[in-house]
Amino acid sequence: MLPDLNRKSLIRMIVVGICAFVIFSYILIPFRITGFSMEPTYSDGSFNFTVTPYYWIFPMERFDVVTVRFSGTRVMLLKRIVAFAGETVAFENGYLVINGQKTAEPYISARQPWNLAPRTVKEGHVYVVGDNRNVPMKTHDFGQTPIHRITGAPLW
């Protein structure tokens, strides 16, 4: 049974609609994970929200999972931050090497022998990579991305 459609109900519906639009367009942007680059942490086909004000409050930290704006807010990549500006990053036989030190990554379940020569992360950028290292390196989107392309952090 629906409530009577009077002026008060109509105003409430408009306010709720506007609030929902603002929240789900700018604060909690919904997205569906497509692809296997973040397995086993996030599975293909699962659903999540990007919390856009997260990095207004908290600083970015190494190994944070972030959403990276690829094309507007319609196409976003889910990746993990592994290095910051001025740091050198490389892969040796599938292991992450930051500033010449092999780095533990407990979220990695299996790895291919990725090899990537050392490179320094540019100012205003972070280095991002997915968790699924059990695929050939050439099939994976990763690398330096400008900080302004990071839209936020996944809600869960």
Task: Please list the active-site residues.
Answer: 37, 79
Q: Which residue type occupies 42?
A: Y
Q: Which residue type occupies 83?
A: A
- For residue 96, what are the CA distances in angstroms to 100, 123, 129, 150? 10, 20, 10, 22
Contact 42, 77 (CB under 8 A): no
d(CA 67, CA 51): 9
Contact 122, 112 (CB under 8 A): no
In 21-139, which ranges are E strands? 28-32, 47-51, 65-71, 75-84, 88-92, 95-98, 101-102, 116-120, 125-129
